[in-house]
Amino acid sequence: MSEIHYIEENLPHRVSEVICINCKHRWIAVRPCKNKLKDLECAGCHQQGYVIETGELFDFGEESF
């Protein structure tokens, strides 16, 4: 049986609600901290440069599971 490797051990990440100000599509984004919002592509309109955070941040520590 293979070992389970948790992504949070190797790569700091951020979870937040984001919205595309171009088409108003909202989703929960999970991305590495080094990724900039302007580089995210909207799943609704497929454009880059329009994604902003709504201010809704999520913390999924081990106690959440």
In a domain, 65, yes or no: no
In a domain, 1, yes or no: no
Kindly report, residue by residue over 30-43, the tens digit of the pLDDT: 888 888 999 999 99
Q: How far apart are the first and last CA of the chain?
A: 22
The whole domain housing 38 covers: 7-56
The pLDDT value recorded for residue 30 is 87
In a domain, 23, yes or no: yes
Distance (Å, whole) CA 9 – CA 49: 29
- Burial class (CB within 10 angstroms; exposed 0-12, middle 13-18, buried 19+) of 42: buried
Helical residues (DSSP H) of 1-65, grouped into ranges: 7-10
The structural domain count of the chain equals 1
Look at 33 and 6; give whichever has higher pLDDT: 33
In a domain, 17, yes or no: yes
